[in-house]
Amino acid sequence: MQAAVFEKFQSPLHVREVPDLEPHADGAIIQVHACGICRSDWHAWMGHDSEIRLPHVPGHELAGVIVSVGKQVSQWRPGDRVTVPFCCGCGSCEECKRGNTHICDAYTQPGFTHWGAFAEQVEIRFADINLVALPEAVDFVSAASLGCRFATSFRALVDQARVRAGEWVAIHGCGGVGLSALMIARAIGALTIAIDPNRERRAMAAGLGATESIDPTNEDVVQRIREITGRGAQVSVDALGHHQTCWNSIACLAKRGRHVQVGLMLGSQSNPPIPMSAVIAGELEIYGSHGMQAVDYPRMLRWIATGVINPSELVSNTVPLAQGAKLLTELDRYPNSGITVIDMSTVSA
């Protein structure tokens, strides 16, 4: 099979032939039809994740068709259309027993703990608890956009922040995670504020129904949010993962407000300072959100099937594997205004 491989951190990825995969007893081999290009993949390529072992194939936002399964797999068979959470459970640790497979104590993660989906095939371990059946109405490219950004935002807003209609939701960073959060908040009936220095991303947020937008390079973000809302946002999401966006997201909250940290805090942006005095005085709530377990995907897929949300609107373009491999290395310098997905039907292009 062909795969995009990097031999050293921060070095070019090269598409080359590698051996086809054989499943572990608990695993399934998926023929990849589409794979998103995510900032988390960029962090892996940069060397910010200690789990990466070189040489490496990135890619964790995937959709495709099962081609083979291990002897212990009972729920899936070749030919099934599937997608998968970006963080997979083992099924036997304490968190998995509680239903929290997305924060498994012994998790596996394609593109991090093992080779990912910038390839024609990828393996998913513990397939019976981690794979998600993909309805025929959802195409592979749209499904690939769900795996990390959309599913993470869905759980962050619906389950963690408990967003309600009429509340103000501030979204700091309008990349794939932020735009997904915006779409979901709007579907719930919330009022949204999109914050991003990139004019094209603010324009895309406006097109998705953002109530207000802020350019953080020209305005005081916290002050402007308080002016717009009157007393601060009820919910705020750091969808980027930066010291400043984390601080602003907490500082802009109304009393009893809820902050959700979705953007990864890695590399030079690890361990951010936070305005703890505001947390105490305003009785603020701070949540982390790390993906979504497979068992909850059907609820999100029902929203999609009934037209409540349409994640395909966030897919700005599709590219072949070689171009996607190059774009990954440029992601921090040339971020796209939407979600870019590798279409593996053009793998050799």
Adjacent-strand bridge partners of 340: 317
In angstroms, rounded to a whole number, what is the distance separating the alpha carbons of residues 290 and 260? Answer: 10
Identity at 299, one-letter amino acid code: R
The pair of three-digit structure tokens given for residue 78, joined into one six-digit string: 């070749």
Q: Average of pLDDT values for 292-308?
A: 91
Each residue's pLDDT tens digit, 67-89: 999 999 999 999 999 999 989 99
Q: Which residue has the tokens 């304490």?
A: 94
Alpha-carbon distance of 97 to 75, in angstroms, equals 18
Cα torsion through 326, 328, 332, 334, rounded to 10: 50
Q: 98 pLDDT exceeds 90?
A: yes
Structure tokens at 157: 């807003």
pLDDT of residue 1: 96
For residue 21, the number of C-alpha atoms closer than 13 Å in the C-beta half-sphere is 27
Q: What is the pLDDT of residue 97?
A: 95
Calculate mean pLDDT across residues 106-125: 97
- At 265 the pLDDT is 82
Domains and CATH numbers, the chain: 2-144+310-346 (3.90.180.10), 149-288 (3.40.50.720)
Percent of the chain with pLDDT over 90: 83
**pTM of the entire predicted model:** 0.88
pLDDT in tens, 185-236: 999 999 999 999 999 999 999 999 999 999 999 999 999 999 999 999 999 9
* Predicted local confidence at residue 338, as pLDDT: 75
Does position 349 have pLDDT exceeding 60, yes or no? no
